[in-house]
């Protein structure tokens, strides 16, 4: 009597931005700041679906992604309480600061971050970590050294590129099928502003997923990928631009300009004594690309938008990750 073959798990695709430097337009001549992806915006998805799903990880150019150390601040793990947690953390670090006392007073946030770092070690292996910046909070500066030591003996994983996945999907002799995934998730951090935008292969990926009914899940800065939806890539590699594409005009949410200005003027991207500016703001770029962008007056408030017609789920930052993951779960069950 033969042994029954166990049913294969459903599949999810994770596209992690891998840019390591965020260019600045001001101060003039600045080489850019060290950046990466926000683990909190990925780890909750891994936690929610790891028992059921088989994950495939990729990056835009096949590079190893870099952890954004500032995305590991304890307040980033407070979900809907992000705003009050940030105020509390800032006040606690304004004068005399003791890292052990700071962590002892926030045991739930420490435990959540520890569990998410364990998921990163399990699924992603050894990762580079972005540099501490003048505006980094004092607790993550201490964390960075400990984190690098904790990862140094882990294997370094390899990541296929987005164009490799798309080429394989379109290769009639390759069994790889982007339509076999139930959903794709893309986390934020500032890295997507570099390698998700103006990227024809990201555009082709989004359209191929849409055409195959795959749910597209984007959070924080990752919705900037939708600005690449104006591109299609033909079988011969030729890039075609179509401004009247199927995604154009749908509702999306992302990081508000007001939130970015705060980070540039008062947060971890602040350069002491200098005016700091990036090349663009995501909400403005998406409006220019033809989307209906909805943000919140309070930049720390939770915002999640679902567009059924194109199966697109977007949310506006780490404060939304728990609601985002729960909504993703509901949508997958319904489908």
Query: For the residues 18-43, what does the mean pLDDT come to?
Result: 97
Between CA 33 and CA 35, with CA 34 as vertex, the angle to 5 degrees is 110
Report pLDDT for 5.
43
- Over residues 210-228, the pLDDT tens digits come to 999 999 999 999 999 999 9
Question: Has residue 154 been placed in a domain?
Answer: no
Query: For the residues 46-60, what does the mean pLDDT come to?
Result: 97
Of 277, 289, 201, give the one whose Cα is nearest residue 244: 289
Asked if the model's pLDDT at residue 235 lies above 90, the reply is: no
Asked if the model's pLDDT at residue 199 lies above 90, the reply is: yes
Question: Has residue 283 been placed in a domain?
Answer: yes
Query: For the residues 304-324, what does the mean pLDDT come to?
Result: 98
Report pLDDT for 318.
97
**Token output for 20:** 């390591």
Query: What CATH number is given to the structural domain containing 240?
Result: 3.40.50.880
Question: Has residue 74 been placed in a domain?
Answer: no
Asked if the model's pLDDT at residue 253 lies above 50, the reply is: yes
Report pLDDT for 4.
43
Residue by residue, DSSP assigns 19-32 as --EE--SBSTT---
Asked if the model's pLDDT at residue 50 lies above 90, the reply is: yes
Asked if the model's pLDDT at residue 298 lies above 80, the reply is: yes
Question: Has residue 233 been placed in a domain?
Answer: yes
User: Could you give the C-alpha distances from 205 to 101, 141, 162, 172, 194, in angstroms and in order?
Assistant: 46, 36, 7, 17, 17
User: Could you give the C-alpha distances from 97 to 78, 89, 94, in angstroms and in order?
Assistant: 21, 11, 8
Asked if the model's pLDDT at residue 3 lies above 70, the reply is: no
Query: For the residues 11-24, what does the mean pLDDT come to?
Result: 98
CB 320 within 8 A of CB 76: no
Question: Has residue 105 been placed in a domain?
Answer: no
Domain residue limits at 50: 11-63+159-334
Asked if the model's pLDDT at residue 1 lies above 80, the reply is: no
- Report how many domains make up the chain: 1
- Over residues 140-182, the pLDDT tens digits come to 999 999 999 999 999 999 999 999 999 999 999 999 999 999 9
Question: Has residue 98 been placed in a domain?
Answer: no
- Over residues 270-289, the pLDDT tens digits come to 999 999 999 999 999 999 99
* Distance between CA atoms of residues 196 and 59, nearest Å: 10
Asked if the model's pLDDT at residue 2 lies above 80, the reply is: no
Query: For the residues 60-68, what does the mean pLDDT come to?
Result: 98
CB 252 within 8 A of CB 290: no
Omega cis (within 30) before 10? no
Report pLDDT for 7.
63
CB 60 within 8 A of CB 199: yes
Question: Has residue 249 been placed in a domain?
Answer: yes
Question: Has residue 137 been placed in a domain?
Answer: no
Report pLDDT for 95.
85
Distinct helix (H) and strand (E) counts, the chain: 11, 12
* Distance between CA atoms of residues 49 and 44, nearest Å: 9
Asked if the model's pLDDT at residue 304 lies above 50, the reply is: yes
Q: Please give the mean pLDDT across all residues of the chain.
A: 95
* Distance between CA atoms of residues 100 and 98, nearest Å: 6
Asked if the model's pLDDT at residue 105 lies above 50, the reply is: yes
Asked if the model's pLDDT at residue 262 lies above 50, the reply is: yes
Asked if the model's pLDDT at residue 14 lies above 60, the reply is: yes
């Amino acid at each position: 009597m033969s042994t029954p073959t166990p049913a294969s798990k459903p599949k999810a695709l994770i596209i992690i931005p891998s840019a390591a430097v965020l260019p600045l337009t001001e101060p003039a001549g600045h080489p850019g700041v060290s950046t990466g992806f926000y683990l909190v915006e990925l780890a909750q998805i891994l936690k929610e679906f790891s028992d059921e799903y088989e994950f495939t990880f990729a990056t835009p150019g096949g590079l190893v992604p870099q952890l954004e150390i500032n995305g590991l601040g304890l307040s980033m793990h407070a979900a809907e309480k992000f705003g009050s947690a940030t105020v509390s953390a800032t006040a606690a670090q304004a004068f005399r600061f003791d890292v052990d006392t700071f962590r002892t007073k926030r045991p739930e946030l420490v435990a959540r971050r520890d569990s998410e770092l364990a998921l990163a070690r399990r699924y992603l292996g050894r990762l580079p970590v972005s540099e501490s910046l003048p505006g980094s909070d004092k607790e993550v500066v201490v964390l960075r050294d400990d984190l690098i030591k904790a990862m140094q003996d882990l294997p370094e994983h390899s990541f296929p590129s987005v164009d490799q996945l798309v080429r394989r999907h379109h290769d009639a002799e390759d069994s790889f099928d982007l339509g076999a995934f139930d959903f794709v998730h893309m986390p934020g951090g500032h890295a997507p502003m570099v390698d998700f935008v103006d990227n024809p292969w990201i555009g082709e990926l989004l359209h191929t997923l849409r055409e195959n009914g795959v749910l597209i899940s984007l959070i924080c800065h990752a919705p900037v990928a939708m600005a690449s939806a104006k591109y299609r890539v033909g079988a011969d590699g030729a890039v075609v631009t179509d401004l009247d594409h199927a995604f154009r005009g749908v509702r999306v949410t992302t990081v508000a300009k007001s939130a970015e200005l705060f980070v540039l003027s008062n947060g971890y991207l602040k350069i002491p004594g200098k005016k700091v500016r990036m090349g663009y703001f995501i909400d403005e770029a998406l409006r220019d690309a033809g989307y209906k962008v909805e943000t919140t007056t309070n930049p720390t408030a939770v915002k999640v938008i679902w567009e059924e017609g194109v199966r697109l789920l977007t949310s506006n930052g780490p404060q939304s990750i728990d609601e985002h993951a729960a909504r993703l779960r509901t949508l997958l069950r319904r489908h």
